Structure formats: structure tokens, C-alpha cells
Amino acid sequence: MEKIERELSKKDYFVISSMLFALFFGAGNLIFPLHLGQIAGHDWSFAAVGFLVTGVLLPLFSVLAIALTHSDGVYDIGLPAGAKFALVFMTLIHLTIGPLFGTPRTATVSYTVGIAPFVPKQFNQIGLLIFTTLFFIFAYLIAYKESDILSALGKILNPIFLILLFLVFFIVFLFPMGDPNAAPATKAYGSSGLSFINGFLEGYNTMDALAGLAFGVTIITAIRQMGKKEDKSVAIVTAKSGVFSMSAIGLIYVFLIIIGAMSLGRFKVSADGGIAFSQIVQSYAGIAGQALLAALIILTCITTAVGLVAAFAQDFHAHYSKLSYHNWLGISCGAAFLVANCGLETIIAWSKPVLMLLYPIAIVVIILSLGVHIFKKNKTMYVVSLFFTLIPAILDMIVSMPPVVSQSSFGLAIAHVRNTLPLAGQGLSWVVPMLVGLILGTIIFKIKAKNS
């Protein structure tokens, strides 16, 4: 029997795009570009280009990869490399952007930036405990009924967030703090090349390229609930909505980077973007500005947290089916609650090395998925490319670990080996091996195709 599909209206596309925006745009997406603007100074434009590559283009490509390969999620997109790889890849990505790092960060950042300034220092730990308890109960309740996620994120929470954010933009650009093109740059951003590379690496912190792969199941489910049944139709809707939502995110990133550079006309470089944001809003509107920032941060964090816990529960239920969606949802929220109370500094310190491992692997998978009509999901192509990329990625991971590992005799020995690779000093030692793997894999693929 032929599937009956309904045509989506412009309003439907707007709601899906709004949901995509809400899923991607979390606390890190507010504070990292703002901080980048401060440390890049007058080189903000080159840093912005690098940041947009990993913060916008890669997430967009990950959504398009889901669409082009007709995948339901991160497991499907890794399947051409083998079922074992796909399962490990899916598990690592969901644990990283989920209960180990990404999801806890949504709660700790929203508390640290939005709520902590109102709480006496001696009560900060108990304040964090109470806030994270309420935060993850709320996230659990919104994500409990899968069919309500689209409505809650796309129609309600995200539009409120955008209105508040653009109110901040309007005031800051109407009464600028300084000239971004005259702002001093830190040493790491002394040239256009360095600014681009460092901006590129800063984009890792958003985790959005990984999130784009993981959110696939949530996105696909929502689109099908709106009446699209055929894989091709779902892919087209995903691609169109992805382009619209990621373009909006890119525009906001540029605004935030410029504001960060402008703020140097009044403030020094802050320890992180959260502190910078707090200083900026308080300088314009005092305690009312801080209250507005708290609302902004909590809104954007809760929307992302809902998407993360839902995607985790959906994919883990699909591949570890002894537990239900609601069981995995509870585990995700509970684990994220525990990690969140370890503190933001601990979360960031241990997330960086994991991102140094997973991002290069995800980039290879995204490239091969975008070329699905050329490479035909060929297993040899995937295995060869991933093998050449994985080795330097593991070395980068060890070198970027906290001092307890990176400064040990083992860590220093690994650093010595890793530093022999091209671009190692820039944190991109995987780039040349990845290109070698892609070229070699293509050659083997072409030879096999010709012989067959």
C-alpha cells in the first residue's frame, strides 16, 4: 500500500528549523564564541571563519550526511565500517555529548553563569545541587513523551530564547563598548593563520558536529510525525531545515564574536565567556541584566538538554533494547546530574581529550557519507580512511589530557612521537594522515571496482 504524505507548509519548516536550532544551540554556543572574540581581538574575523567551519559547516554537513544516507541516527551512519565500529562509535558519541560531558555542561553552565551570581559563595555547592536536581527533573518530564519534543522545543522555548537574545544584541550594537577592529589580540592569535586554526579548534567545544549525528534519530522521528513517510522526502526536509537553522546559528556566532571583541573597550579578557557575558549585561542593565542573562542561559540549556537526553534514550533503547526508552531517559538524566555536580572545570578538562579523539573520526565519517553516491558505502574505503585517522587522533587525545596523564612519563613519550607528525603543534596532527587514508582508500576502492 502506497504511503500517504502531506505537504509541509512554511510554518512546518519553521517549526522543524526552530527545533533543530534549539537542539544545537546550548550554553557552550553562547559562551565559547564570546570568549573567542575577546582572545582574538582585532583578528576576530579570521578566528570567526575558523570557528564557523567546525561550529556551523561541520554540524550542517552532519545533518546533511544523515539525510543523504537515509540514516536514522549515528549507528546507521557508521554502519558501512562494520557493525562493531558503528555500535562503539554511537556509544562513544552519545556518552560524550550526553551524560559524561555535554548534558552535565548544560546544567553547570546555566547555574554558574545565570544563577551563581545571586547565590552567596558559601552556598554555591548546595545551590548547584538543588538547581541540577530541578533542571534534570524538568528535562526528563519534557522528553518523557517523544511526540511532545517538537512542540516544546520548536514552538515554545526556542522562540522565547531568540527574542531575549536579539534584545541583548540590539542594545549592545546600539551602544557599543568599543571598536572590535582596534581590540588587542592575545599571543595565540597574533596572525590570520593562527587565528583561523585556533578558531577552528575552539569550534570543537560546541560538540555540534557530534550532536548533528546523534540528533538524527530525534530529527527524523519529528519529521515523520509531521506526515513525511518516504526516506527521500524526510531527507529533503532535513536538508532544507538544516541549512536554515545552521545559517541562523552562524549569524549569531558572528554577532557574539564581534561583541566579545568590542567588550575589550571596557573589560579585560575574562577567564571564560560566561564571565564575559555576565560583565557585559551587568554593565548595561545591572541586576536586571543579570536576570535577563539567567533566563537566556537557562532557556538555551534546557532545550539542548532535552534534545540530548532524548537522543541518548532513543538510540540506546534501539541498540540496547533490554531497557525501555524511559529507563534510558532516567539513566541519562541521573548520570548527568551526578557528573554536573563535579563542577564545570572538571567537565571541560576531561571533555577536551575525548573531543580530540572523536572529532577527526566524525569528520571522516561525515566526508564519506556526503560522498555516498561516489563511494557507495564501501567498507574498504571506510576502514582504510578511519585507520589512518584514528592513530594520530589517539595521540592527540593523550597529549591533551589533564596533567596527571599528559605530564606523566607515558604522556611525555606519546607527545614526543606525536610531535613528529605534520601540524602537531597546531593540534591537527590527524589532518595529513586522514588525507593519506582517504586517497589510499579511494585508490583501493577504484581498483576493486574496476576488477569486479
For 114, the grid coordinates are 545565570
pLDDT, one tens digit per residue, over 335-362 is 999 999 998 778 888 888 999 999 999 9
Per-residue pLDDT of the chain (452 residues), as tens digits, is 445 667 778 888 887 887 788 778 877 788 889 999 999 999 999 999 999 999 999 988 888 888 888 887 788 999 999 999 999 999 999 999 899 998 998 999 889 888 888 888 889 899 999 999 999 998 998 888 755 554 555 466 667 777 888 888 999 999 999 999 988 888 878 677 788 988 998 898 888 889 888 877 677 777 877 877 777 787 788 888 888 888 999 999 999 999 999 999 998 988 778 788 888 888 888 888 888 778 878 877 887 888 889 889 988 998 898 999 999 999 999 999 999 999 877 888 888 899 999 999 999 999 999 888 888 888 999 999 999 999 999 999 999 998 888 899 999 999 999 999 998 888 889 999 999 999 999 999 888 878 87
Task: Kindly report, as residue ranges, where domains of CATH 1.20.1740.10 are found in the chain.
Answer: 10-341
Q: How far apart are CA 445 and CA 382, in angstroms?
A: 10
Backbone angles phi, psi at 227, to 5 degrees: 115, 0
For 118, the grid coordinates are 545571586
Q: How far apart are CA 18 and CA 169, in angstroms?
A: 19
Burial class of 404 by CB neighbour count within 10 A (0 to 12, 13 to 18, 19+): exposed
Cβ atoms 211, 103 nearer than 8 A: no
For 21, the grid coordinates are 536550532
Give CA separation, 237 vs 43, 67, 136, 142, 260, in Å. Answer: 37, 9, 31, 24, 35
DSSP 88-139: HHHHHHHHIIIIITHHHHHHHHIIIIIIGGGS-GGGHHHHHHHHHHHHHHHH
pLDDT, one tens digit per residue, over 413-426 is 999 999 999 988 88
Q: In this structure, which amino acid lies at residue 282?
A: Q
CATH superfamily of this structure's domain 10-341:
Amino acid/polyamine transporter I (1.20.1740.10)
Helix-helix angle 379-399:409-418, to 10 degrees: 130
Which among 97, 300, 349, 310 is positioned nearest to 206, based on CA atoms? 97
pTM: predicted TM-score of the whole model, two decimal places = 0.84
